[in-house]
Amino acid sequence: MKLAMRWCGLVLAAGVWFGGSGTAAAKLVQVDLGGAWQVAEAGSAEFIPATVPGCIHTDLMAAHKLPDPFWRDNEASSQWVSDKAWVYRRSFFAAPALLAREHVLLRCEGLDTLATLKLNGAELARTDNMFRTWEFDVKKLLKSGSNEIEITFEPVLPFIRAQEKRRKLPTWAYPGAAYLRKEPCNFGWDWGPTLITCGIWKNIGLVAFDTARLDGVLVLQDHKQPGQVGLEIQVTAEGDAPAAQVQVVAPHGEILGTEKAAFSKGKASAKVMVAKPQLWWPAGMGKQPLYTVKTTLLTADNKTLDSSTQRIGLRTLQAVQQTKDTTMHFVANGVPFFAKGGNWIPADQFATRLTKERLRRYMEDAVAANMNSLRFWGGGYYEEDELFDLCDELGLCIWLDFKFSCTTYPAFDDQFLANVTAEARDNLKRLRHHPSIAVWCGNNEIMFFRDKTWSDKKMSEDDYYKLFRDTLGNQARELAPQTDFVTGSPDCGDVHFWEVWHGGKPFEVYRNIHGFVSEFGFQSFPEPKTVATFSEPADRNSVYSRIMMWRMRSNRMYMDVKEDGKIGTDKIMKLVKQYFRDPKDFESTLWLSQITQGYGIKYGAEGWRREMPKSMGCVYWQYNDTWPCSSWSSMDYFGRWKALHYMAKNFYAPVLVSGAEDMKAGTVDLFVTSDRMEDCQGRLTWTVTDVAGQTIKQGALDVAVPAHKSLKVETLKLADEIQKHGKNNVLVWLKLEVGGAAVSDNLVTFVYPREFNLADPQLAATVAEAHGAFTVTLAAEHPALWAWLELDGVDARCSGNFVHVTKGAPVTLSVQPAQPLSKAAFQKALRVRSLFDTYAH
Ligand code: BMA
């Protein structure tokens, strides 16, 4: 594995590329071989245009040979694609100067997955791991002038079936897939389709160099002395380089130090002291200044052989595992903090069509919802460099799983272990400098498949520890020694709590567990606009229509499983009706499922934040989607915020006001919870009304809000009011102001919302416009609960949504349409509704 890509191909004429002018004889050169390729089924002469990086499905779609697999049930009729072998090819030009270099390599940063490579007709190599960077010596095979490269991808199912025949691996996922180092959820998951890709999914090109090149740069930080950070930059090289030069540049461009170090046994080490360091902090705790480390490999007469650039953050960041005295928690620069976030899954089944812009928006939306952490879950692929760059810039702390999930693995096979070792080394070296990485984690949920010995359900603990704790752990400890490593999730004191969704229990059981909750979740349907992208109008008569249920994968991990989606749909509907009422129509069902999901996740999240430090993390399942579907996500495939995402913005607020109700005692304990770095003073106002909105009682108190603490500040005794008005007729409205500005509000009830006999709230919206930006003020005569707005036919992002409005307490939201709208068009498109509108009256 080499450092981050520095492709520098020059285009001369269509389809002809070369690099290396021959003048800077000693410097490493890279020639990009991405771009326009051709692809055909093996044995066919009918080549179609292909794009590299890319995959076979997107190439076939672009050539109109494959209808959109996301439309209705097209997934089923798309299966032929993965049953075939596909040949990718292109020609390219190699200049004599390039061939004159000492070493000329073909470098493939990602081949998905069983590939045979040919250069000018001769077989070069076979590969079997999509997560590795493969490099091959091609100096002898290359010709001066035109060359032909051809990569054939074999279908993977016959391979894994043959392996399974020899020895079956107990699994929750696709049978046999664990034999192949390929994105596990590509075979289907309980939220994603079975669309098995192949192709050149990352950069490909030639690398030519003389003498030596960089192999790795490890930056070690010493924070022990106050007021300074000592950096030790360890450079490793391949070949015989005399020296390395290292330069450290401050966030605003000032050069802090340039040091040269000689190599000894393939390693050079330079030290730079950073005085008055600007520390990198998680989002909400401070800024994210990024320093630059520039490393140059030098010849004896100071000519550059190779160079690389890395952005780092000065910080310590730990994942402290659970002990009998403390719960698992994160610590940044010595400050323990509550991790607030979600679980990230691949954001597209066809990963190569993700753009940097899409990734940026996903990460900005995490910060917009007051998150400071994300878990990059183990069933996907090692995420893009760009994604980590964004997390570095935004202060999102990453729990980074190695890509092993929900199945046993053939740890008894030494070849498999060697393959995995190379994969781990590639990805550790690629990613380890990112300040956002809080912890490397060996696997997702494989501890549940661990037993004394192998059986038809489990793998042996010896093999489990050999693979996850030792093989992966040893690589992590060697290559990223300052980042914590844990064997698995939940195998380090974190909690995956599935009693609600998979166990059929009510949301209240969230209050029975504590700790660092790294998975828990409840599903909802996507909103109408998203449903319309994959369905015909007739599919939208019920969430039990065949096409709606096609999108429900709980209990149906991959296509061949004979389950039509009814089990999962029933699970959503059961809690919708338990907490709310029967929605009156299809659209109301979609929205009410989202309100139910948000209601439940909020219930858990607030409880855990309230009891910090007993609980120190809430990372819900799941943040995003891989295609338009019903799922646990808070944001759908198109990035549309579900009700949960808007609610997360509130329940993850830096300073939270919340209430814990006790129905039996008729009390509400009021809490303020702070993730701020400084203490502050607040004013907490509470108002008790009936469901018609009439005030029964109110009060206010000044509260001290200490940094990183949660405090019970008051107990409201409402037994008399409950007695008089009825438990289903009492609402407790909370508002917290700091420095005169509202920072958090909340609503506490003593019964499930289904028991409220709501009056028509007469919800009304007033629109104001300034320079293309809109504000909408929602007002109501009676409580409008979970009031939300949307624009017909136009996407919009709101400052808040699914809010509670009542007489005398209007709510103003800013709304940014995705496309420019006149005020008249905005008003025409605007729709406002609340819980009341989802029921038949
Ligand atoms: C957990 C995750 C995923 C899965 C989710 C919902 O086990 O790790 O594998 O999608 O639950 O079942």
For ligand 1, the distance from its centroid to the CA atom of residue 88, given in whole angstroms, is 35
For ligand 1, the distance from its centroid to the CA atom of residue 670, given in whole angstroms, is 34
- CA-based radius of gyration for the chain: 28
For ligand 1, the distance from its centroid to the CA atom of residue 477, given in whole angstroms, is 27
List Cβ neighbours of 562 (8 Å cut-off, separation of 6 or more): none
Q: Which atom of ligand 1 is nearest to the CA of 378?
A: 8
Determine the Cα angle at 566 with ends 561 and 571, to 5°: 120
Phi-psi label, residue 721: left if phi above 0, alpha if psi -120 to 50, beta otherwise: alpha
| Distance separating alpha carbons of residues 212 and 240, to the nearest angstrom | 5
- Give the strand pairing for 437-441 and 397-401: parallel
| Distance separating alpha carbons of residues 72 and 761, to the nearest angstrom | 38
For ligand 1, the distance from its centroid to the CA atom of residue 508, given in whole angstroms, is 21
For ligand 1, the distance from its centroid to the CA atom of residue 499, given in whole angstroms, is 12
pLDDT score for 770: 87
For ligand 1, the distance from its centroid to the CA atom of residue 576, given in whole angstroms, is 21
Q: Is the CB of 379 under 6 A from ligand 1?
A: yes
Beta strand spans in 472-606 (E): 484-486, 494-496, 516-519
Do residues 273 and 231 lie in contact, with contact meaning Cβ atoms separated by under 8 Å? yes
For ligand 1, the distance from its centroid to the CA atom of residue 519, given in whole angstroms, is 8
For ligand 1, the distance from its centroid to the CA atom of residue 348, given in whole angstroms, is 17
Query: How large is the angle between the packed helices 643-651 and 586-610, nearest 10 degrees?
Result: 20
For ligand 1, the distance from its centroid to the CA atom of residue 561, given in whole angstroms, is 17
Q: For residue 748, give the amino acid letter.
A: V
What is the residue with the minimal CA distance to atom 4 of ligand 1?
190
Do residues 778 and 805 lie in contact, with contact meaning Cβ atoms separated by under 8 Å? yes
Do residues 386 and 167 lie in contact, with contact meaning Cβ atoms separated by under 8 Å? no
Q: Which atom of ligand 1 is nearest to the CA of 190?
A: 10
- Give the strand pairing for 516-519 and 115-119: unpaired
Q: Is the CB of 189 under 6 A from ligand 1?
A: yes
Give the distance from CA 613 to its chain's centroid.
25
Q: Is the CB of 362 under 6 A from ligand 1?
A: no
Q: Is the CB of 128 under 6 A from ligand 1?
A: no
- Where the chain has pLDDT below 50, the residues are 1-25
Determine the Cα angle at 522 with ends 516 and 523, to 5°: 140
Write the pLDDT tens digit of every residue in 264-309: 988 999 999 999 999 999 999 999 999 999 999 999 999 999 999 9
Q: Is the CB of 490 under 6 A from ligand 1?
A: no
The strand order across the sheet containing 212-222 reads 212-222, 228-239, 267-275
Do residues 778 and 811 lie in contact, with contact meaning Cβ atoms separated by under 8 Å? yes
For ligand 1, the distance from its centroid to the CA atom of residue 377, given in whole angstroms, is 9
pLDDT score for 1: 35
For ligand 1, the distance from its centroid to the CA atom of residue 50, given in whole angstroms, is 34
Residue 49 backbone dihedrals phi, psi, to 5 degrees? -65, 145
Determine the Cα angle at 577 with ends 576 and 582, to 5°: 105
Q: Which atom of ligand 1 is nearest to the CA of 406?
A: 9
Q: Is the CB of 444 under 6 A from ligand 1?
A: yes
For ligand 1, the distance from its centroid to the CA atom of residue 500, given in whole angstroms, is 13
How many residues appear in the chain? 841
| Residue among 172, 190, 446, 555 to mutate when testing ligand 1 (max atoms within 8 A of CB) | 190
pLDDT score for 562: 86
Q: Which atom of ligand 1 is nearest to the CA of 172?
A: 9
Q: Which atom of ligand 1 is nearest to the CA of 191?
A: 10
Q: Is the CB of 406 under 6 A from ligand 1?
A: yes
List Cβ neighbours of 319 (8 Å cut-off, separation of 6 or more): 328, 329, 330, 399, 438, 439, 484, 486, 492
CB contact burial 263-278 (16+ within 10 A = b; e otherwise): beeeebbbebebeebb
For ligand 1, the distance from its centroid to the CA atom of residue 559, given in whole angstroms, is 17
Do residues 382 and 131 lie in contact, with contact meaning Cβ atoms separated by under 8 Å? yes
Q: Which atom of ligand 1 is nearest to the CA of 502?
A: 12
| Distance separating alpha carbons of residues 651 and 609, to the nearest angstrom | 9
| Residue among 622, 624, 627 to mutate when testing ligand 1 (max atoms within 8 A of CB) | 622
| Residue among 186, 406, 446 to mutate when testing ligand 1 (max atoms within 8 A of CB) | 406
What is the residue with the minimal CA distance to atom 1 of ligand 1?
519
Residue 406's closest CA among 169, 161, 622, 621? 169
Q: Which atom of ligand 1 is nearest to the CA of 621?
A: 5
Distances (CA, A) of 113 to 5, 57, 151, 443: 21, 14, 11, 21
Residue 494's closest CA among 454, 442, 452, 424? 442
For ligand 1, the distance from its centroid to the CA atom of residue 406, given in whole angstroms, is 8
| Distance separating alpha carbons of residues 35 and 21, to the nearest angstrom | 21
For ligand 1, the distance from its centroid to the CA atom of residue 783, given in whole angstroms, is 37
**Biggest alpha carbon distance in the chain?**
93
The single-letter DSSP state of residue 589 is H
For ligand 1, the distance from its centroid to the CA atom of residue 163, given in whole angstroms, is 25
**DSSP symbols for 595-618:** HHHHHHHHHHHHHHHHTTTS--EE
Q: Is the CB of 191 under 6 A from ligand 1?
A: yes
Helix, strand, coil abundance in the chain, percent, nearest 5: 25, 35, 40
For ligand 1, the distance from its centroid to the CA atom of residue 469, given in whole angstroms, is 21
Q: Which atom of ligand 1 is nearest to the CA of 377?
A: 8
What is the residue with the minimal CA distance to atom 6 of ligand 1?
190
For ligand 1, the distance from its centroid to the CA atom of residue 220, given in whole angstroms, is 35
Q: Is the CB of 92 under 6 A from ligand 1?
A: no
For ligand 1, the distance from its centroid to the CA atom of residue 409, given in whole angstroms, is 17
| Residue among 185, 402, 445 to mutate when testing ligand 1 (max atoms within 8 A of CB) | 445
What is the residue with the minimal CA distance to atom 12 of ligand 1?
190
| Distance separating alpha carbons of residues 687 and 783, to the nearest angstrom | 13
Write the pLDDT tens digit of every residue in 27-78: 999 999 999 999 999 999 999 999 999 999 999 999 999 999 999 999 999 9
| Residue among 498, 621, 630 to mutate when testing ligand 1 (max atoms within 8 A of CB) | 621
Determine the Cα angle at 420 with ends 419 and 426, to 5°: 95
pLDDT score for 561: 87
For ligand 1, the distance from its centroid to the CA atom of residue 634, given in whole angstroms, is 15
Q: Which atom of ligand 1 is nearest to the CA of 379?
A: 9
Residue 281 backbone dihedrals phi, psi, to 5 degrees? -125, 155
Half-sphere exposure of 123 (CA within 13 A, CB side): 6
Q: Is the CB of 338 under 6 A from ligand 1?
A: no
Q: Is the CB of 445 under 6 A from ligand 1?
A: yes
Q: Is the CB of 190 under 6 A from ligand 1?
A: yes
